[in-house]
Amino acid sequence: MKPRTAFILLLLGTASLGLGWYAGIARDTMGEVAASAATLAFPDFAARMEAAQRLKIADHSKTLVLVRAADRWLLAEHGNFPALAPRVHTLLAGLAELKLVEKRTADPAEFARLGVDDPKDAKSEAREVRVLDAKGAALAAIILGHTRPNPENGGAAQVFVRRVGENQVWLAEGAVEADPDLSGWIDHQIINITRDQVASITIDRDTSHLVLTREGDKLVVSTPATHPVLDQLKIDTLARGLEYLSFSDTRAASAPLGQKLGTITFVTTDGLTLRAAISVEGETVWAVFTPSGKDKAQATADALGKKFNGFALAVPSWQAKTILPSLDDLLPPATPTPPPAAVMPATPTPAMPGQPPAPR
């Protein structure tokens, strides 16, 4: 090998080592920069969280407002019914831990594509979350857009976000569970009492008074004493009125509830009495429950009263007739009258050979 060629190869080798060293340092430095750039969306929110007094979650069709009362959060537009505490804590913690990891567009024309456009727009898929203090000042306010899988296996969830009042869109890491649908913020079950646990049912409407009492393994109508034959299947359905009974909405019991239909009172074999005043407003059936109890049922009555006293609960609309039937509603289905038998035209008698046809 010529001396000149050897010298050139030596230079190239040295340069390659230098470039490799630089590339390694550069990769490490870039990683450090990326890690340090993952800043909190609201750096001081965790320290100021105790000042939060009002939460507002909205999308294009629904708005949910929660207000703080001591250590509870209440659903302001649903009679101040208590929200599920773990759900509120999860939302606040998610906001406190949300990290901005990568700048994206600041062009409003691109907002809808990432799901961070104005939530008030009819076609928007964005959700807006605001946390306010007692004076109405925002402690945190953000628009949540589309989510995407984290390219790192097992990494934190990623979501496009835009802080309210800013055009800059960020790719963020963290989970902010914010849905304005009421269903995720309440425990829907009222009570679960099986048919076999019901000792009696009393139904009072404006024009009727019904009492059903247990005889053996079934309930029968004892008042009025004289009545037509009733459909036992319908009576059994009535006795199941408290099985997995749930609600979908709440109001203050003092609020207008539509037309009052009457009351139904269940008494169980262990001493629980549960009275429900029933009203109907459009397609919604409202029930205001008044529990009482004795002996071992007292604890159940106290728990129901603590949870539901002062509230009207929207029970499933299909239960309107089964939860407050009249005596006529308990009659068996009418047997349809069979149609009259078809009258076939008379068949003429064939004439004998040589005889004229028989007259018709």
Place of tokens 């340069």: 15
Measured over the CA atoms of residue 274, residue 280, residue 281 and residue 283, the dihedral's sign is positive
Q: Is 137 helix (H, G, I), strand (E, B) or coil?
A: coil
Radius of gyration of the chain (CA): 36
DSSP E strand stretches across 180-283: 189-191, 198-205, 208-215, 218-223, 245-246, 250-252, 259-268, 272-281
pTM (predicted TM-score): 0.79
Instruction: Please give the chain's pLDDT, 360 residues, in tens.
Output: 444 444 434 433 443 434 343 333 233 333 333 334 469 999 999 999 999 999 999 999 999 999 999 999 999 999 999 999 999 999 999 999 999 999 999 999 999 999 999 999 999 999 999 999 999 999 999 999 999 988 776 677 899 999 999 999 999 999 999 999 999 999 999 999 999 999 999 999 998 999 999 999 999 999 999 999 999 999 999 999 999 999 999 999 999 999 999 999 999 999 999 999 999 999 999 999 999 999 999 999 999 999 999 999 999 877 766 788 999 999 999 877 777 766 666 666 665 666 665 555
Q: How far is it, in rounded angstroms, from Cα 110 to Cα 119?
A: 14
Structure tokens belonging to residue 76? 């302001």
Top-level class of domain 189-330: mainly beta
Name the residue ranges covered by the structural domains of the chain: 39-182, 189-330
Measured CA to CA in angstroms, residue 178 lies from 61, 105, 106, 268 at distances of 14, 23, 24, 40
Q: How far is it, in rounded angstroms, from Cα 189 to Cα 37?
A: 45
